[in-house]
Amino acid sequence: MQESNNVRPRLNAMKLPPPPKWDETNDGFEDASHWAADYERSLLPSDISFPRAGQIWKTVRDCEVNFIAFIPKTILLGGSARLQEGEQVRIYTHDPKPIHVAFQPIRYDELHSRIVPIDIRNRPGYQYYWLSLSIARTVCWLQDEPGFFHELFSLVEDVA
């Protein structure tokens, strides 16, 4: 059987650190997402640069990113969007060590119609869109993830 180049790495071939302790009888369900995020964060490369709210980053090559359209009282709608090399974005993620990075292009209005399809923009209550990517590949990455922030963006302007 011939293997595809798009095959996910097998987990048993990777040496993983032990997950942090979480006890469902003592730790509530609301803590489960924090527990999972802390575990995924522990798998990130140690030399990774985390973007901070307000910073300006730019794409280092043409790439795809995720977009999310916000419509009140509706399930979030989204898809993928293409950004060209050199496109600048402002970071909106407030987590000091984010697993997923939320951002908007500096040229928000100019790119709006290219990023969000007209059928979504015309929905009643549509307000705005965000872009997002996972910060880096971990064992939790999805095969359909378009790319990873730390590979596709570089810092242009820091914040005080």
Per-domain residue ranges of the chain: 11-42, 56-157
For strands 88-91 and 56-59, give the pairing: antiparallel
Confidence band, pLDDT 50/70/90 cuts, at residue 144: low
CA-based max dimension of the chain: 55
pLDDT > 70: percent of the chain: 74
Rounded to an integer, what distance in angstroms lies between the CA atom of residue 156 and that of residue 55? 8
Amino acid at 53: A
**Cβ 148 vs Cβ 136: under 8 Å:** yes
Rounded to an integer, what distance in angstroms lies between the CA atom of residue 69 and that of residue 59? 21
Query: Looking at the predicted structure, is the pLDDT value of residue 74 above 70?
Result: yes
In the 8-state DSSP scheme, what is residue 57?
A: E
Its sign, for the CA torsion 63, 134, 56, 81, is positive
pTM of the predicted structure, to 2 decimals: 0.75
Rounded average pLDDT over 13-24:
52
Position 36 scores a pLDDT of 73
Query: Looking at the predicted structure, is the pLDDT value of residue 92 above 50?
Result: yes
Rounded to an integer, what distance in angstroms lies between the CA atom of residue 91 and that of residue 17? 30
Position 146 scores a pLDDT of 73
